[in-house]
Amino acid sequence: MTDTTPNRQKLSLAKGLNAGLRKAMEDDPKVVLMGEDVGKLGGVFRITEGLQKDFGEDRVIDTPLAESGIVGTAIGLALRGYRPVVEIQFDGFIYPAFDQIISQVAKMHARSLGHLRMPLVIRVPYGGGIGAVEHHSESNEAYFAHTAGLRTVTCADPADAYWMIQQAIASDDPVMFYEPKRRYHERAEVEIDEAAGAPLGLHTARVARAGSDLTLVTYGPMVKTCLDAAAAASAEGKSLEVIDLRSLSPLDTPTIMESARKTGRVVVVHEASTFLGMGAEIAAQVQRDCFYSLEAPVLRVGGYNIPYPPSRYEEDFLPDLDRILDSVDQALAF
């Protein structure tokens, strides 16, 4: 970590999360972290490193190895007035907790007619590209974005990691917080001006790069890939705008539509399988709202409609620069 000014730090995405969690715990004694191995080990990705040492075992809770139990007890703690932040070790391990999230976390506020709140954050390291074994590389955000009562967000860079995790914890709604695990170690300068607060709202999309010929709509681990693609396209004289959604539910629809109307061409990029993925929703909304502005059909670039393959295939499974630019060319050819 290199301090440049008191308000700027060069952080990795992982360290941004760690610093954000630390700040949230310092600000509110009701914030507790829970999960498998989050204590002494600091989590398998070291996101909670050092926090148990500084905040104690009552606030950084090493849990038994049982995901439904982790989320279910977090619900009880939230009902008692705590603000639990749960770590699911890997994307593919969230399914045992699916019932508690869908049946209870998402519905508690509504079924109690507003009496009860679920200020609960469920952190999910997600996505592929790290050469992992099965169940360690999935992008299952659409299941949760589909469920009313949850908010589903994802950070893409160290600044968003630092700020969004704090905003998610501060929210009185339950938040599914997706972390792009292959970007954990990418570093950037982060503005940490506590007085000014977070530069963007938790549910605001961001224009990550301005452009005029076509809009790439993306989020999480694909933001960097899309920015790289836009840079490559620029060398060929094509001006691509890149939108980092940040929030998958609710979607910041106005930001998407404004860009679609401006460029007239939209390609949605994500790692998850395209069938019924986030791209399907975005394509449907863009054609509904921007039909007369469109110069080409909305295209999607995503994972194929197969289970996440063994890692020797993932270079071909995951969207890369070539596949993105190929779709860009298709859209521009209309």
The residues carrying an active-site annotation are 136
- Say if strands 151-154 and 247-249 run parallel, antiparallel, or are unpaired: antiparallel
Binding-site size, other proteins (CB under 8 A): 47
Q: Phi, psi at residue 91, to the nearest 5°?
A: -45, -45
Q: Is 74 in the site for other proteins (CB under 8 A)?
A: yes
> Between vectors from CA 133 to CA 128 and to CA 139, what angle results, nearest 5°?
30
Q: Is 40 in the site for other proteins (CB under 8 A)?
A: no
Which region, left, alpha or beta, applies to residue 333 given φ > 0 means left and ψ of -120 to 50 means alpha?
A: alpha
Q: How far is the CB of 202 from other proteins (least distance, A)?
A: 8
Residue of the chain from 82, 144, 184, 219 that contacts other proteins (CB under 8 A): 82
Q: How far is the CB of 327 from other proteins (least distance, A)?
A: 27
Residue of the chain from 2, 4, 6, 114 that contacts other proteins (CB under 8 A): 114
Q: How far is the CB of 324 from other proteins (least distance, A)?
A: 28
Residue of the chain from 136, 151, 206, 224 that contacts other proteins (CB under 8 A): 151
Residue of the chain from 10, 22, 109, 261 that contacts other proteins (CB under 8 A): 109
Q: Is 32 in the site for other proteins (CB under 8 A)?
A: yes
How would DSSP label each residue in 36-104?
TT-SSS--TT-TTTTHHHHH-TTTEEEPPS-HHHHHHHHHHHHHTT-EEEEE-SSGGG-GGGHHIIIII
List, in sequence order, every residue forming a beta bridge with 179; answer none if it has no partner.
125
Distance CA 20, CA 166 (A): 6
How would DSSP label each residue in 214-247?
EEEEE-TTHHHHHHHHHHHHHHTT--EEEEE--E
Q: How far is the CB of 285 from other proteins (least distance, A)?
A: 10
Give residues 117-146 in contact with other proteins (rule: CB under 8 A).
117
Cα-Cα-Cα-Cα dihedral sign, residues 249, 255, 261, 263: negative
Nearer to other proteins, 13 or 105 (CB): 105
Q: How far is the CB of 58 from other proteins (least distance, A)?
A: 5
Nearer to other proteins, 9 or 73 (CB): 73
Q: Is 148 in the site for other proteins (CB under 8 A)?
A: yes
Q: Is 96 in the site for other proteins (CB under 8 A)?
A: yes
CB neighbour list of residue 94: distance below 8 Å, 6 or more residues apart: 67, 88, 101, 122, 124, 140
238-267 footprint of other proteins as x/- string (CB under 8 A):
-----------xxx-x--------------
Q: Is 104 in the site for other proteins (CB under 8 A)?
A: yes
Distance CA 310, CA 133 (A): 7
For tokens 């970590």, the residue is 1
Q: Is 199 in the site for other proteins (CB under 8 A)?
A: no
User: In the structure encoding, which two tokens stand for residue 20, read together?
Assistant: 């954000």
Q: Is 280 in the site for other proteins (CB under 8 A)?
A: no
Q: Which residues bind other proteins (CB under 8 A)?
A: 32, 58, 61, 63-64, 66, 68-69, 71-82, 84, 96, 99-100, 103-104, 107, 109-117, 148-149, 151, 171-173, 203, 249-251, 253
